[in-house]
Amino acid sequence: MNYFTENPDLVLTFDRVVPWDRLVPLTQGPDADVRETVAAWREVLGAAGEYVGTEIAGRAREVDAIGVVRDGGRVETSAPMRANLRGLIELGFVGLSLPEAYGGSGVPYTVSSFGVGMIARADPATMVELGIGYSEPAAMILRFGTDEQRRRYVPRLVRGELKGAVAMTEPQAGSDVGSVQTTAREEQGSWRLAGRKQFISAGNGDLVIVLARCVPGSSGLDGLGLFIAEREGDNYLVERAEHKFTIRGSTTCSLVFEGSKAELLGEVGGGWREILTFMNESRVAIGIQGLGIAEAAYEKASRYAAERVQMGRPIREHPMIAELLMEMETTIAGLRAIATEASVLQDEVAAAKDEGAARRLRELTPLVKWYGAEEVIRVCRSALQIHGGYGVVTEYDVERHMRDALILPIYEGTSQIQSLMAVRDLMRLLLRHPASLVRGGPTPMLAGRPVGGDYAVARATLTGALRAMTASLARRGGLDLVRGRRQPTDAEVAPFLLHAERITETLAHLHVARALGEQARRIPERAGLAARAARRAKLVAARNAAAMGAGDGGVLARIDEWQRARAR
C-alpha cells in the first residue's frame, strides 16, 4: 500500500494541520509560492509512500529474520537492509532537509519527518540505519564543521558513499554524559582518541562522530568535544555487534579507540552543547519512530478484528475490542499531533532562531519521546491481545512490532530520563512563577483557553496536585527557595522526582488533548478524537493525582536506608 496517500490521518495532517502559509516563506524564502511548493512536497511524499509501503515493508520480515551478519569477526549489514538503504538514498531521503549546495533537497524538517514516520512504519530498523548512519552525521558536520569538513564529508554521506555513526554512550556512563571517560589528546597537531563506546547504532560504517573529554582535568559536562574518526586502516575497532531481540536489522556496536586519529568537530569544550542538539532532535525522531510502529500494529489489528469472527460477529463489534481499537486510534492521532507540532517548532527555531518556539520545543521534546514510547507499547500490547494466540506467531508480524516497540523507552534517553527533564524544567518554572498554579497553568502552553470541559478538569487536577507539592516544598525550604535565592536540595525535590513519571504522563496526555482540541476547532471531523483524548487525559490526571497525594509508600525511607548502608 502507499504509506502516504492511503493513510487518511497523515494526509489530513499534511493538508490541513501544518501551517504551510507560515512555514514555506520561513524556510524557502519570502518569494516562494506556497501552493506550488506544498504541492511538490506532497508529490514527493506520495512517491516515497509507494516505495516505502511496497519495497521497504516487503523486506521487513527478512531484515528482522537475518538481523546483523557476523562473519569471521566482521560486522556486516544484511543484504535486504542494504537494498533498503540503497533505494532510500536514490530517492534522496538522506539529504531531504540538507541544503542543495551539499546535495540535499532543502525541505523543512516537518516534511522529512513525515517521510521518516513512513519508513518507521515499514521497518524501524531501516529508519535507524538511515538516520544515524547517514542523515544525522551529515547534519552534525554541516552544523559544527569547517567548510573543508563539510565539503569533504556531507555530499558523500548524502550520496551513500560513506556511512557514519554518532558515538556518545559508554559502558559505565549510560545516560550520565558527564561521566564520559573516552579522551582526546592533541599530539603534534592531530587528535588521538582512547576509550570505549557501547550501544552505537549503525556503528559498523566508515566514520564515527565521537564525544570525548578533551580538556585535561575537566569533569562533568565541561571539557567535552566532538571528533570525527575515520575507520580506514583499522583506525578504530568495531569490537562486536550486540545480539538484540528488538530492531534486529540495525547494527548496534561496541567500538574501541586506542590512539585512534581524529579531527576536531566544532569547539574544544563545546561538546555537550553540540551533542545536546543531536540528542533533542533524536528524541523527537524516536517519538516519530514510535508513531510508525504504532500505525503498523494498529493497521494489522484493525484488519484482523474486522475479519475474525467469534460468537457470530467480527470481534471488533465486541465492546472491549472496539474500545481497544478506539484507544489505539486516539493514541496514534494524538502522537502525530504533538510530533508534528514539535517538527514545526524545530523548523521555526532553525530558520528564525525564535526563542518562544525554542521554549515550546523544549517543553514538548521529552513528552513526544515519552508518549511515543510508553503509549506505543500499550498500542502494540493491545494489537497482540486482539490477535489472541496468533499474536505470538511470527507470520502475523504483531510480535515483531511488540519487540521493536520495546526499544523506544530505552534509547536516546530512557522514559525516566525524559520524565526528569520534563519535571526539572517544570519545577524551575513553578519556583520562578508560582502564580501559574493559580492562573490556570501549569505551563504557558497549557494555560490557554480550555479546549473542552474534560481538558479543563484534567488541567485543574494536575495543577492542584502540583500546588500541594509546591506548597510542601515551600514550607520545608523557606522564602529563600521560593524567591529563587537558592536551589532546592536533593531531599527537598525527592517527592517531585519520585512522581516525575506520573507528572510527565499527565503532561503528555494534556498536550495531546490540547493539540487535538485545537485541531478540532478548525477541523470539525477531529471532534471525536479530541473528545476521547480529553476524556483520557482527565482519567490519567485523576489516577496520577491520587497516587501523588497518597505519599511515597516508604520509597524515600528505603533510599535513606540504602544510603546509610553504603556510607558504613
Q: Over the stretch 438-466, which tens digit does the pLDDT of each residue have? A: 666 789 899 888 888 999 999 999 999 99
The total number of structural domains in the chain stands at: 3
What is the DSSP secondary structure assignment for residue 452, as one 8-state letter?
S
Last residue of a domain, one of 269, 297, 314: 269
pLDDT in tens, 481-501: 766 677 788 788 888 899 999
CA distances in angstroms from 557 to 225, 410, 471, 547, 552, listed in the order given: 40, 28, 21, 17, 9
Give yes or no: residues 277 and 343 share one domain: yes
Quote the cell numbers at residue 516.
487535538
Q: Quick one: pLDDT at residue 439?
A: 67
Model confidence at 363, pLDDT cuts 50, 70, 90, reads very high
Give yes or no: residues 503 and 532 share one domain: yes
Inside any domain, residue 127: no
Give yes or no: residues 406 and 486 share one domain: no
pLDDT above 90 for 53: yes
pLDDT in tens, 74-129: 899 999 999 999 999 999 999 899 999 999 999 999 999 999 999 999 999 999 99
Last residue of a domain, one of 369, 387, 413: 413
pLDDT in tens, 368-391: 999 999 999 999 999 999 999 999
Last residue of a domain, one of 362, 380, 413: 413
Q: What are phi and psi of 259, to 5 degrees?
A: 70, 30
pLDDT in tens, 282-293: 999 999 999 999
Inside any domain, residue 131: no
Q: How many CB atoms lie within 10 A of CB 209?
A: 26
What are 76's strand-pairing partners?
A: 69
Give yes or no: residues 280 and 259 share one domain: no
Inside any domain, residue 110: no
Q: Quick one: pLDDT at residue 19?
A: 97
pLDDT above 80 for 566: yes
- pTM of the model as a whole: 0.95
Inside any domain, residue 74: no
Q: Quick one: pLDDT at residue 492?
A: 82
Mean pLDDT of the chain: 94
Residues 6+ apart with CB under 8 A from 459: 440, 441, 442, 446, 450, 510, 541
Q: Quick one: pLDDT at residue 484?
A: 67
The predicted model gives 12-24 an average pLDDT of 97
SS3 state of residue 196: strand
Q: Quick one: pLDDT at residue 429?
A: 83
Q: Percent of the chain at pLDDT above 90?
A: 84
Give yes or no: residues 314 and 340 share one domain: yes
Give yes or no: residues 472 and 491 share one domain: yes
Inside any domain, residue 42: no
The predicted model gives 291-317 an average pLDDT of 96
Domain holding 400: CATH number?
1.20.140.10
Q: Quick one: pLDDT at residue 475?
A: 79
Q: Quick one: pLDDT at residue 203?
A: 96
3-state helix, strand and coil shares in percent for the chain, rounded to the nearest 5: 65, 10, 25
Q: Quick one: pLDDT at residue 417?
A: 93
Tell which wins on pLDDT, 176 or 468. 468
**DSSP per residue, 197-223:** EEEEETTTSSEEEEEEE-STT--TTTT
Indicate the helix (H) or strand (E) that contains 82.
Answer: helix 79-90
Give yes or no: residues 172 and 255 share one domain: yes
pLDDT above 80 for 435: no
Model confidence at 433, pLDDT cuts 50, 70, 90, reads confident
Inside any domain, residue 38: no
β pairing state of 224-230 and 207-213: antiparallel
CB-CB contact of 173 with 227 (8 Å): no
Count Cβ neighbours within 10 Å for each residue of 245-284 and write b for 16 or more, e otherwise. ebbbbbbbbbbebeebbbebbbeebbbbebbeebebbbbb
Inside any domain, residue 111: no
CB-CB contact of 20 with 51 (8 Å): no
Q: Quick one: pLDDT at residue 245?
A: 96
Give yes or no: residues 319 and 347 share one domain: yes
Domain, as residue range, for 488:
415-555
Among the ranges given (45-59, 193-207, 410-424), the one the predictor scored with the smallest mean pLDDT: 410-424
What are 26's strand-pairing partners?
A: none
Distance CA 349, CA 97 (A): 14
Give yes or no: residues 408 and 454 share one domain: no
CA distances in angstroms from 501 to 367, 371, 472, 556, listed in the order given: 10, 11, 19, 16
Give yes or no: residues 329 and 442 share one domain: no
Distance CA 331, CA 533 (A): 8
pLDDT in tens, 538-559: 999 999 999 999 989 999 999 9
Domain holding 249: CATH number?
2.40.110.10
pLDDT in tens, 524-541: 999 999 999 999 999 999
Inside any domain, residue 299: yes
Q: Quick one: pLDDT at residue 479?
A: 67
Give yes or no: residues 251 and 333 share one domain: no
Give yes or no: residues 401 and 501 share one domain: no
Amino acid at 529: L
Q: Quick one: pLDDT at residue 438?
A: 67
pLDDT above 80 for 432: no
Q: What is the dihedral of CA 129, 131, 137, 141, to 10 degrees?
A: 160
Model confidence at 323, pLDDT cuts 50, 70, 90, reads very high
Model confidence at 43, pLDDT cuts 50, 70, 90, reads very high
Quote the cell numbers at residue 561.
536506608
β pairing state of 224-230 and 190-201: unpaired
Q: What is the dihedral of CA 186, 188, 191, 192, to 10 degrees?
A: -90
